[in-house]
C-alpha cells in the first residue's frame, strides 16, 4: 500500500468509527433523532434510514427502530411524519401546534414510505432472526400502504397535502401549486430552524408561512382526510412519493412471500401505481415530474426525485440522457435541482444541494437496473463528499462543502449501509 492509499484507509476507518458514534449519540432509546437541535424528534423516513444504518452494527436495534416508528401509527393506517416522544422547545411547530391528540403525540401528515424497503434490506441480512419482526411489522406496513392507496391515489400517483410530506420541503415541484395557499391568517411565529443553521440553507419565510397555513387548515378540520381533500388548495402528485411507494409495495409483496401471506392485494396496488406513473412523464423535460392535481399541470421541474424511476422499477424512457446532463453540471452529484435551472441554489435545501440519503436510493435503483457506471459515480461522489467533509445533512454539489445539520443520522447510516458497501448493496 502506498502512502496516499494508507492515509485514505485511515480516514475511512475514522469515518466508519464516527458514523457508528453518530448513530449511538442520536439514539434516544429505541429511536434515532436526525440531529440534535435542528430535529429533536423521531422523523418517519429518517428513522427508516437509521434502521438501515443500525443493521450494519446491531440487527435487533435496527428492527427496534422500525417497531418504534410504527408505535406512532394512527388507526387510519397513516404513519405520521414526526413522533414527539419527548417535548423539546428547540423545534417549531411542536405538538401544541399540530394538536392531533394522539398518544404518543404526533404530527398530522405522513412522509415517504421507505420502511418496507428497509425492512426487506434488514431481513435479507439476517433472515432467521428477522422473521418474527417481519411478521409483526407486516400488517402495520400494509395498513399504511393501503391508506395511501385509498386516501391519496385517486389519480394513480401519490398526492401530498403538505410540502413536508414529500421530505423535499422547498422543492420547486410544488412552488406554483403553493401560490394558491392563503397565508392571511398565519400571523406572527418564531422559527427555530434558522437559529440552528444558516438561514441561506433553509426554506424562505414565504415557504414557512405556507407550511403553517396548511398545518392550521388540517388542524381546523381535525386532520380529517376527506375534509382536507375538499378544502385545501394544495394537492400535488409527487413524483418522489409515488416512486417510493411503488418500490415499497414491491418489497412488501416480496416480504409477504417470505412469511406466507397473500400478496394479491399488494399486487393490485402495484398495478394501480404503475398505471399512475404514466401521467407524470414530462416529454418536454425528458424525465418524470410532479403534477398539480388542482390544475392538472406538470411542474416542469427536473428534480432528484425524477431519477427514482429505476428504483421504482418503471420504464425510464429517456431519463438516462437527462440524468447524464444533470450529472455533467455537478462535480458532486446528484443535485436536488438541475443546475441548468435559473433557480438552482447550491446551498438552499432542496433547491440545489446534494443529499447522500437520496443518492443511496437513486444509486440502488440504477445498480439494480444495470446502469452500473452511473450508480458507481453516485457512490463515488457520495464517498468523496463525506470523506472530505463529514456527516452533514446535505452538500453543495459544486464544492462538496457540508450544509444544513451536522452529525446527521441518515448520512451516517447510508455511509455504513450503502456508500462503503457498493451501490448495489
Ligand atoms: C422541518 O421542520 O424542516 C421538517 O422538514 C419538517 O418535516
Strand ranges (DSSP E) for 80-210?
Answer: 82-84, 105-106, 159-160
Rounded Cα gap, residues 121 and 226, in angstroms: 35
Query: What's the predicted TM-score (pTM) here?
Result: 0.97
- Going from the Cα of 164 to the center of ligand 1, the distance in angstroms, rounded, reads 6
Q: What is the pLDDT of residue 5?
A: 72
Residues 200-209: contacts with CB within 8 Å, 24+ apart? 200/347, 200/348, 201/347, 201/348, 201/349, 201/353, 201/403, 201/404, 202/348, 202/349, 203/169, 203/170, 203/348, 203/349, 204/170, 207/163, 207/169, 207/170, 207/178, 209/183
Placement of cell 388540517 in the chain: 218
Residue with CA nearest ligand 1 atom 7: 164
Widest pairwise Cα distance in the chain: 66
Is 173 close to ligand 1, i.e. is its CB under 6 Å away?
A: no
Rounded Cα gap, residues 412 and 416, in angstroms: 6
Is 165 close to ligand 1, i.e. is its CB under 6 Å away?
A: no
Is 64 close to ligand 1, i.e. is its CB under 6 Å away?
A: no
Topology adopted by domain 3-419: Glycosyltransferase (1.50.10)
Residue 415 near residue 363 (C-beta atoms within 8 A) = no
Rounded Cα gap, residues 188 and 271, in angstroms: 46
Q: To which H or E segment does residue 236 belong?
A: strand 236-237
Cell of 74: 394512527
Is 81 close to ligand 1, i.e. is its CB under 6 Å away?
A: yes
Rounded Cα gap, residues 81 and 78, in angstroms: 9
* Nearest alpha-carbon partner for 214 in 161, 291, 148: 161
- Going from the Cα of 137 to the center of ligand 1, the distance in angstroms, rounded, reads 26
Atom number in ligand 1 closest to CA 211: 6
- Going from the Cα of 169 to the center of ligand 1, the distance in angstroms, rounded, reads 7
Is 45 close to ligand 1, i.e. is its CB under 6 Å away?
A: no
Rounded Cα gap, residues 330 and 327, in angstroms: 5
Is 148 close to ligand 1, i.e. is its CB under 6 Å away?
A: no
Measured N-to-C along each axis, helices 239-258 and 264-277 cross at an angle, to the nearest 10 degrees, of 160
Rounded Cα gap, residues 306 and 336, in angstroms: 10
Is 403 close to ligand 1, i.e. is its CB under 6 Å away?
A: no
Is 193 close to ligand 1, i.e. is its CB under 6 Å away?
A: yes
Residue 425 near residue 359 (C-beta atoms within 8 A) = no
Rounded Cα gap, residues 384 and 8, in angstroms: 11
**Which 3 state secondary structure label does DSSP give 168?**
coil
Q: To which H or E segment does residue 402 belong?
A: strand 402-403
* Nearest alpha-carbon partner for 50 in 92, 94, 83, 1: 83
Residue 110 near residue 165 (C-beta atoms within 8 A) = yes
Residue with CA nearest ligand 1 atom 4: 164
Is 168 close to ligand 1, i.e. is its CB under 6 Å away?
A: no
Pocket of ligand 1, candidates 34, 39, 46, 162: which has the most ligand atoms within 8 Å of its Cβ, to mutate?
A: 39
Spacing of C-alpha 1 from chain mean position: 39
Measured N-to-C along each axis, helices 127-152 and 239-258 cross at an angle, to the nearest 10 degrees, of 140
Pocket of ligand 1, candidates 169, 204, 351: which has the most ligand atoms within 8 Å of its Cβ, to mutate?
A: 169
Centre a 10 Å sphere on the Cβ of residue 235 and count the other Cβ atoms it contains.
Answer: 20
- Going from the Cα of 132 to the center of ligand 1, the distance in angstroms, rounded, reads 33
Rounded Cα gap, residues 425 and 422, in angstroms: 6
Provide Rg for the chain, Cα atoms.
20
Q: What is the pLDDT of residue 2?
A: 67
What residues are labeled active site? Answer: 169, 393
Is 169 close to ligand 1, i.e. is its CB under 6 Å away?
A: yes
Q: What is the pLDDT along the chain (425 residues), one digit of tens a residue?
A: 667 777 677 699 999 999 999 999 999 999 999 999 999 999 999 999 999 999 999 999 999 999 999 999 999 999 999 999 999 999 999 999 999 999 999 999 999 999 999 999 999 999 999 999 999 999 999 999 999 999 999 999 999 999 999 999 999 999 999 999 999 999 999 999 999 999 999 999 999 999 999 999 999 999 999 999 999 999 999 999 999 999 999 999 999 999 999 999 999 999 999 999 999 999 999 999 999 999 999 999 999 999 999 999 999 999 999 999 999 999 999 999 999 999 999 999 999 999 999 999 999 999 999 999 999 999 999 999 999 999 999 999 999 999 999 999 999 999 999 999 999 98
- Domain boundaries defined on the chain: 3-419
Q: What is the pLDDT of residue 10?
A: 64
- Going from the Cα of 407 to the center of ligand 1, the distance in angstroms, rounded, reads 17
- Going from the Cα of 45 to the center of ligand 1, the distance in angstroms, rounded, reads 12
Rounded Cα gap, residues 170 and 163, in angstroms: 7
- Going from the Cα of 107 to the center of ligand 1, the distance in angstroms, rounded, reads 11
Contacts of 337 (CB under 8 A, 6+ apart): 171, 172, 301, 302, 303, 304, 343, 344, 345, 350, 351, 352
Q: What is the DSSP string of 263-315?
A: -HHHHHHHHHHHHHHGGGEETTTTEE--EETTTTEE----BGGGGGHHHHT--
Residue 70 to residues 58, 63, 139, 171, Cα–Cα distance (Å): 19, 11, 10, 27
Measured N-to-C along each axis, helices 356-368 and 239-258 cross at an angle, to the nearest 10 degrees, of 60
Amino acid at each position: 500500500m502506498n502512502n496516499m492509499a494508507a492515509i485514505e484507509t485511515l480516514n475511512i476507518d475514522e469515518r466508519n468509527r464516527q458514523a457508528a458514534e453518530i448513530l449511538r449519540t442520536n439514539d434516544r432509546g429505541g429511536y434515532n433523532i436526525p440531529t440534535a437541535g435542528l430535529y429533536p424528534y423521531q422523523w418517519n423516513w429518517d428513522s427508516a434510514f437509521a434502521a438501515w444504518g443500525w443493521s450494519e452494527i446491531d440487527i435487533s436495534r435496527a428492527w427496534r427502530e422500525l417497531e418504534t416508528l410504527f408505535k406512532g401509527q394512527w388507526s387510519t393506517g397513516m404513519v405520521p411524519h414526526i413522533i414527539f416522544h419527548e417535548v423539546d422547545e428547540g423545534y417549531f411547530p411542536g405538538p401544541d401546534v399540530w394538536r392531533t391528540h394522539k398518544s404518543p403525540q404526533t404530527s398530522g401528515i405522513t412522509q415517504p414510505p421507505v420502511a418496507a424497503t428497509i425492512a426487506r434490506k434488514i431481513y435479507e441480512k439476517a433472515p432467521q432472526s428477522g422473521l418474527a419482526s417481519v411478521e409483526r411489522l407486516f400488517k402495520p406496513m400494509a395498513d399504511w400502504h393501503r391508506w395511501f392507496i385509498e386516501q391519496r391515489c385517486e389519480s394513480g400517483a401519490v398526492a401530498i397535502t403538505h410540502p413536508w410530506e414529500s421530505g423535499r420541503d422547498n422543492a420547486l415541484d410544488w412552488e406554483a401549486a403553493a401560490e394558491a395557499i392563503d397565508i392571511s391568517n398565519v400571523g406572527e411565529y418564531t422559527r427555530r430552524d434558522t437559529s440552528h443553521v444558516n438561514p441561506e440553507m433553509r426554506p424562505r419565510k414565504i415557504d414557512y408561512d405556507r407550511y403553517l397555513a396548511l398545518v392550521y387548515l388540517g388542524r381546523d378540520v381535525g386532520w380529517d382526510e376527506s375534509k382536507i381533500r375538499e378544502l385545501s388548495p394544495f394537492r400535488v402528485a409527487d413524483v418522489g412519493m409515488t416512486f417510493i411507494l411503488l418500490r415499497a409495495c414491491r418489497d412488501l409483496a416480496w416480504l409477504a412471500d417470505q412469511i406466507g401471506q397473500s400478496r394479491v392485494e399488494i399486487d393490485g396496488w402495484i398495478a394501480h401505481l404503475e398505471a399512475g406513473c404514466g401521467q407524470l412523464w414530462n416529454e418536454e423535460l425528458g424525465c418524470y415530474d410532479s403534477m398539480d392535481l388542482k390544475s392538472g399541470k406538470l411542474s416542469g421541474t427536473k428534480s432528484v426525485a425524477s431519477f427514482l424511476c429505476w428504483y421504482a422499477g418503471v420504464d425510464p424512457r429517456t431519463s438516462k440522457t437527462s440524468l447524464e446532463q444533470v450529472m455533467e453540471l455537478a462535480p458532486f452529484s446528484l443535485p436536488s435541482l438541475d443546475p441548468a435551472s435559473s433557480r438552482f441554489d447550491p446551498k438552499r435545501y432542496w433547491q440545489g444541494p446534494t443529499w447522500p440519503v437520496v443518492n443511496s436510493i437513486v444509486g440502488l435503483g440504477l445498480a439494480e437496473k444495470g446502469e452500473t457506471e452511473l450508480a458507481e459515480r453516485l457512490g463515488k461522489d457520495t464517498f468523496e463528499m463525506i470523506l472530505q467533509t463529514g456527516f452533514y445533512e446535505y452538500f453543495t454539489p459544486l464544492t462538496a462543502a457540508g450544509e444544513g445539520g451536522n452529525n446527521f443520522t441518515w448520512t451516517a447510516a447510508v455511509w455504513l449501509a450503502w456508500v462503503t458497501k457498493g451501490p448495489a448493496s
